[in-house]
Structure 1
């Protein structure tokens, strides 16, 4: 084997190992993992947000006076026609069914339409049930107007919130209409924290019966709202802090916008850190004795305070006079405050409008569940779409397997929620509670995928940065290996023979010197 052939073999092996093993290994070790997200599916969901959603609400019809054999079909036809009269962003309908003779209906769980013969035509929605009572007279029966009256009452009053939000109807003026988009509303979250603070302008000792008052007047409300939101509560007393209300003397009949120029609530918001994402505050403020009476407070003997609603923060209860020495605030004082705050809490959650009280809590809360379930589905899809756009915008960004697992879990949760929403036979309270829970989990999983630590930190190197970092190392090695390979391939056999002869000439013996042998003895 000639030396030229050996050199060529060695050069080829070096170049092959470098090109076939070294470079692919370097590329593999420096390449980030990108899980294959279902981008096309998420894009189709965003383009047709509610294509697979059809909200169905079952309603049972019963009549105690007249027996109308086909009244449910007539009401169904009128309800469908009324819903088709308005363009709808979400496909929804009522499933009108007759109440069977021996069927037991739960008025707190099932929607029941009761037809009652009376001397006038009207309707009533009881406070403590989901029943809708439609009154009709004989004239309405003869003119066949009962189905239309019943359908109109159901859609424009019982389900006024759905009629407003799903069908885009702005003509409905009903006290039961939700006000979710109001600037006063705190963003919805399935878990919220309620912070109650007592502020005094001096350091004199004070006590309050807040625990017993909350147990008696607020705990029933917490249980009633538990399908929507779970409240955690803390209480605190803050001395030497009257929010600088004593400096306001020239204000007459103020609103919160008037007080906002002098009152700073950031200190109350930053005192504690809560695990919950959203916080509702109730601050009860007593001025210092030096400030005297707050003349701008509209107070009475039975109600020596005035409440101000702070948008997206909570309620501020300001007392007209300072506390006496060694004061103890009893339930007689706290009960009206908590009741007023409960009514305001409905507004902070979007359950009632600014001027109306929650007159039909059962139907209103169910409507809130349906609307928030669909809003959660929209929010989650938008989050997934933002995640897909982010990964497409940065091709070198890492997409961990955990993110893919969360996206797949989110898609599964959405399908489960949509299946419950679309089933007309599963429209009771427990089903809507489950659908809301699934949609809340859907939003949480989507946000967890988007805000994954490796995604948020964006620890990635663009391709040009990778080349710039490794070029000082790979450049010289590549030049040496491939230059040697080219040189070895360009050598000829003549050059090899000449080098071989030169090697032999260097080994010739000098004839002028005699040969010497070693003495082996």
Structure 2
């Protein structure tokens, strides 16, 4: 039996033996750690070197992809996405818009008939009068050219309008005082002169010649003012425009131009009888038109053609029931929903003439003054006719309405207000020619500026054809200014220029900017372009490393 002391001694001896035994093991472990740390680190194992054939093959694959993209893909994409732009004569179009090619100024020929004067006296009077016209003119290029008639037959003396190139004929007759009067039905200015007022051959100025020049200028003053207004509102630079008119004249001309219809070769006239009850139910409108309006329509044939239809609308009630209509009531008098009017036929603009049978009258500015009709700008005219005693309206009761409609038609067509009707229609031909010529030239200039401002806009071949045709007819119009042929050429030129400017396929490109194209192509080019670019960069990096290795070996 062992004692506790002996056990402690045995445990201490064992612990000492264990400690002495573990000491050499610890020293051995420390030696291994120190030996392991002193050894060099293991080298990373690299893949086997790539053969030159594999390197060449990879380079050829990358190059083939880029070759397909650059030499095949890009040309096809460029060809299929390139916007077609027809060649336009932009410089010539701009010259037309700036008035450098043709200025719409008409040389007016004035024929002088002086049977009581000798040829030398008449020629001397014409020379001095022509000089007076040129010195008092304030309209550059607007020139009245005096000339003696080549023939003095009775027919030409009676009807000067047969001379298509003559704007006015002056008939000089001896009298007590110098006076002038425009013929009411012919383009003739009748002038009387005292025999003592005829200038001598040695004179360079004369009072009667100055008076005659003043009368000529006043005769064409309205046409001159209209031409000045058209040029002032056009795209022609201010240095090529005539001197401006007064403010009142400009406002008056602006109202007249706003009121008149846009020029058309054909107008459709609709005559409507509107009643507030069951009577009248018929009217003799055809006979009234043939008797009171047809002569004026025949005179307008060289400028416009007209088609006519008539209709009767029963039980139409106006929007205002008072007997005296104020100007504020006129806007609600016609209700298009209750008063259906005949639409235009064949695409021609429609001019509406409405005869309303009722007890209404139109109140004027004065409390006691009333009117039976009013003109609606760019629409037509309305005449308030007293109810007839029977159910049928005869042609004699329609005389005043038709005469009023004729006057309103001339206003809607833009006819000048002064002078005889043949003279007014001759002036209308020149005004319409100038207006159409300026409109066509302005449209060409706008198209040229649009083409330069938007390089990505499409210009189809139809636009180039329209521009070429418009410029061709403009040249023909400028070659015969003032004639009906010039008016027709100017109309065609304006229509072709407008059609070219508002080409549907070209207008759609205005609302498709370049940002939209980037938005469409970027999602498609991203997935394709990134692998191509990364492959190219990797191949360039490998090529650079190979060159560096070759440089070290050498």
Fold match (TM-score > 0.5): yes
Question: Where does 1:1-400 land on structure 2 (aligned, <5 Å)?
Answer: 2-48=53-99, 52-69=103-120, 71-72=122-123, 74-88=125-139, 91-100=141-150, 105=156, 107-110=160-163, 111=166, 112-141=169-198, 144-157=206-219, 159-166=220-227, 181=256, 183-203=258-278, 206-245=281-320, 247-249=321-323, 251=324, 254=325, 257-267=327-337, 268=339, 272-276=343-347, 278-287=349-358, 293-294=359-360, 306-321=372-387, 327-353=391-417, 359-400=419-460
Q: Check 1:16–1:132 CA distance in 2 against 1; reply closer, same or farther (3 A cut).
A: same
Cα gap change, 1:6/1:233 in structure 2, threshold over 3 Å: closer, same or farther? Answer: same
**Partner of residue 409, structure 1:** 469
- The 3-state SS of whatever aligns with 1:442 is helix
Question: d(CA) in 1 for partners of 2:137 and 2:104?
Answer: 18
Bigger Cα Rg:
2
Q: Does 1:434 align with 2:472?
A: no
Deviates more, 1:327-336 or 1:101-110: 101-110
3-state DSSP class of the match of 1:197? strand
Deviation at 1:401, TM superposition (A): 0.9
- Preserved CA contact (<8 Å) 1:4 1:493: no
TM-superposition CA deviations, 1:460-507 (whole Å, max 9, x none)? 632222122122222222222333334345446999xxxxxxxxxxxx
Structure 2: gaps (5+ residues): 1-51, 201-205, 228-241, 365-369, 547-554
- In structure 2, the CA distance between the partners of 1:216 and 1:72, relative to structure 1 (3 Å rule), is same
How far did 1:206 drift? 0.7
Q: Could you tell me the TM-score, scaled by structure 1's length?
A: 0.78
In 2, Cα distance between equivalents of 1:463 and 1:152: 61
Taking structure 1 as reference, are residues 373 and 62 closer, same or farther at Cα in structure 2, changes over 3 Å only? same
Q: SS of 2:116's equivalent?
A: coil
Contact 1:403 1:452 in 2 (8 A): yes
After superposition, what is the alpha-carbon deviation per residue over 1:120-144, rounded to whole angstroms, capped at 9, x for unaligned? 3112332333333221112322684
Give the drift of 1:93.
1.0
Shift of 1:449: 0.9
**Bigger CA drift: 399-408 or 277-286?**
277-286
Give the number of the structure with larger relative contact order, counting CA–CA contacts within 8 Å between residues 6 or more apart.
1
Distance between the aligned counterparts of 2:151 and 2:162, measured in 1? Answer: 18
Aligned residues: 460
- Contact 2:352–2:381 (8 Å) recurs in 1: yes
Equivalent-residue separation in structure 1 for 2:103 and 2:362 (angstroms): 55
Deviations 1:65-117 (A, max 9, x none): 121426346435534543443432x5221222222366784511333322211
Superposed, 1:477-488 pairs within 5 Å as 477-488=528-539
Tell me the secondary structure at the aligned position of residue 467 of structure 2: helix
Q: Against the structure 1 CA distance between its residues 182 and 45, is the aligned structure 2 distance closer, same or farther, given a 3 Å change threshold?
A: closer
Say which structure is richer in helix: 2
Q: Any gaps of 5 or more consecutive residues in structure 1? A: 288-292, 299-303, 422-430, 496-521
Q: 1:506 aligns to what?
A: none
Instruction: Report the secondary structure of 2:78's partner residue.
Output: helix
| 1:355-392 deviation line (CA, Å, top 9, x unaligned) | xxx65011111112112211211111222222233333
CA-based RMSD: 3.4
CA contact (8 A) 2:133 2:144 kept: no
Q: 1:350 to 1:265 in 2, by over 3 A?
A: farther
Which position in structure 2 is the counterpart of 1:512? none
Distance 2:376 2:144 in 1: 38
